[in-house]
Amino acid sequence: MTEREAYVKMAVAHAKDSEDEGASLEGRSPISLSPSSEDETVAVTRKRRRSSRAALPGSSHPRLVPEGDGSLFVAQVNLISLAGRMRSVGCCLPSLASSAEKEAYANVAVASAKVMEAFNEYVVVMEDRVEASWNEKEIESIGSEIKRLSEELEVIKREGKRDAKKIEALTDDWRRIQWENKDLTTQGKWTRKMKEVSAEIQLQEVTANIDLINELKDGGLTVDAELARLKEMEGDCEGLVASAAVSDWSIWARSSSNF
């Protein structure tokens, strides 16, 4: 006996058991189909389905099975078992006694298995598509986040450039103020030095006049009043020279070379 025949034989045995159970159920009183007993009919039908499921060793529905010859035999068993359960609830099915009928049912089972196989492949493809869709959404979300961060980085760069320009402008202003302060200091020293030179010149003139007057006095001229005035001017000039003295002559020299 081949493996296929063994599977078919086992399925037929399950179908006969289900048929016997269906015969015992047929001896019961028929179920009313009136509208008033609709809920009761549904309850009885569910009870019969649970009884038929408990009588079978496998699942109550054809399963999604992997590829291969074994899947075809399992599909045959499921199909024939389903036929047995249909008998148990009062459905009339042809007998599977002849080999031709068994072969016909086997062919139907093969076709059913192929359909289930195609459905399995369809489920896998749809799962892949769903996963790919999720991945695309995640990638799109990451891309949006990268774009947002890039825009924020560009804003920070522009603000940094503006701040750098402000710092450069402030640095230029500081340098300019430093040069202006230096120029003011130099000009102040230059002014004081000019006063010193002017006072020295005036002192030299006064001294020369004093010497001249002394000579005139020795010659018999009366110039006492003029001499007293010049001596007074001499004291004033000495005071101006002392107050306008510059501590560092080299600074004045560098400033004069710039002018």
- Non-local CB neighbours of 41 within 8 Å, separated by 6+ positions: 31, 32, 33
Task: Identify the residue with better confidence: 190 or 58.
Answer: 190
Domain-located, residue 174: no
Domain-located, residue 102: no
Give the pLDDT band (50/70/90) at residue 123: confident
Task: Among 66, 81, 97, identify where a domain stops.
Answer: 97
As a whole-number percent, the residues of the chain with pLDDT over 90 amount to 0
Q: Which two tokens stand for residue 247?
A: 């501590």
Domain-located, residue 119: no
Residue type, 233: M
Give the pLDDT band (50/70/90) at residue 10: low
Task: Among 97, 118, 150, identify where a domain stops.
Answer: 97
Per-residue model confidence as pLDDT tens digits over 155-192 = 998 888 888 888 988 888 888 888 888 877 887 788 88
As a whole-number percent, the residues of the chain with pLDDT over 70 amount to 53
Per-residue model confidence as pLDDT tens digits over 239-249 = 777 776 655 55
Tell how far CA 204 is from the center of its chain: 87
Q: Residue 151: is its pLDDT beyond 70? A: yes
User: Coil, strand or helix: which one is 16?
Assistant: helix
Of 58, 92, 55, 50, which Cα lies nearest the Cα of 76? Answer: 58
Residue pointed to by tokens 């640095």: 171
Q: Residue 126: is its pLDDT beyond 50? A: yes
User: Coil, strand or helix: which one is 247?
Assistant: coil
Q: What is the mean pLDDT of residues 18-38?
A: 44
Provide the mean pLDDT of the chain.
68
Of 83, 79, 82, 71, which Cα lies nearest the Cα of 118? Answer: 71
pLDDT at residue 207 in the model: 86
* Residues 100 and 34: beta-carbon distance below 8 Å: no
Domain-located, residue 139: no
pLDDT at residue 247 in the model: 56
| Strand locations in 127-166 (E) | none
**Domain total for the chain?**
2
pLDDT at residue 225 in the model: 66
Domain-located, residue 152: no
Q: Which two tokens stand for residue 13?
A: 């045995």
Q: Which two tokens stand for residue 196?
A: 């010193």
Per-residue model confidence as pLDDT tens digits over 80-116 = 565 555 555 555 555 555 677 777 777 887 888 888 8
3-state helix, strand, coil in the chain (%, to 5): 85, 0, 15
The DSSP string of 168-225 is HHHHHHHHHHHHHHHHHHHHHHHHHHHHHHHHHHHHHHHHHHHHHHHHHHHTT---HH
Q: What is the mean pLDDT of residues 39-57?
A: 46
- Non-local CB neighbours of 17 within 8 Å, separated by 6+ positions: 55, 84
Neighbouring CB atoms inside 10 A of 72's CB total: 21
The length of the chain, given as a count of residues: 259
Domain-located, residue 107: no
Tell how far CA 178 is from the center of its chain: 48
pLDDT at residue 250 in the model: 52
Domain-located, residue 228: yes
Task: Among 52, 75, 97, identify where a domain stops.
Answer: 97
Domain-located, residue 253: yes
User: Coil, strand or helix: which one is 32?
Assistant: coil
Tell me the backbone φ, ψ of residue 94, rounded to 5 degrees: -65, 155
* Residues 39 and 109: beta-carbon distance below 8 Å: no
Q: Which domain holds residue 212?
A: 186-258
pLDDT at residue 42 in the model: 42
Q: Which two tokens stand for residue 234?
A: 């001499």
